[in-house]
């Protein structure tokens, strides 16, 4: 079947050769585009992982700051409560 297709292209002369070239070129470009998309998706996946890690670091820092302020607030409330009890 493939040889029959090539024979028909050759029967068309220069036009058939040009059609064959266009088909071959399209196949090559499709393969190159697929490879490019695969590399691009890999890069995007890496960027997404880095972004998530950055968010995790921000969350951890936020949690530390909130815990610090909660501890300070609790200590302050205890101190205020103790001082109020002393003055009664």
Statement: residue 1 has pLDDT above 70: no
The CA distances from residue 55 to 23, 44, 71, 78, 81, in Å, are 47, 16, 24, 34, 38
Note the pLDDT tens digit of each residue in 15-38: 878 887 888 899 999 999 999 999
d(CA 44, CA 36): 12
Q: Is 1 helix (H, G, I), strand (E, B) or coil?
A: coil
Q: Where are the domains of the chain?
A: 2-87
Give 7's pLDDT tier (boundaries 50, 70, 90). Answer: confident
Note the pLDDT tens digit of each residue in 40-85: 999 999 999 999 999 999 999 999 999 999 999 999 999 998 988 8
pLDDT reported for residue 61: 95
């Amino acid at each position: 079947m493939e040889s029959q297709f090539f024979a028909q292209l050759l029967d068309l002369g220069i036009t058939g050769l040009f059609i064959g070239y266009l088909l071959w070129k399209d196949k090559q470009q499709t393969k190159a585009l697929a490879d490019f998309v695969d590399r691009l998706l890999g890069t995007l996946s890496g960027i997404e992982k880095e972004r998530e890690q950055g968010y995790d670091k921000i969350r951890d820092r936020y949690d530390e700051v909130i815990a610090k302020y909660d501890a300070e607030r609790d200590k302050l409330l205890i101190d205020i409560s103790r001082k109020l009890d002393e003055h009664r």
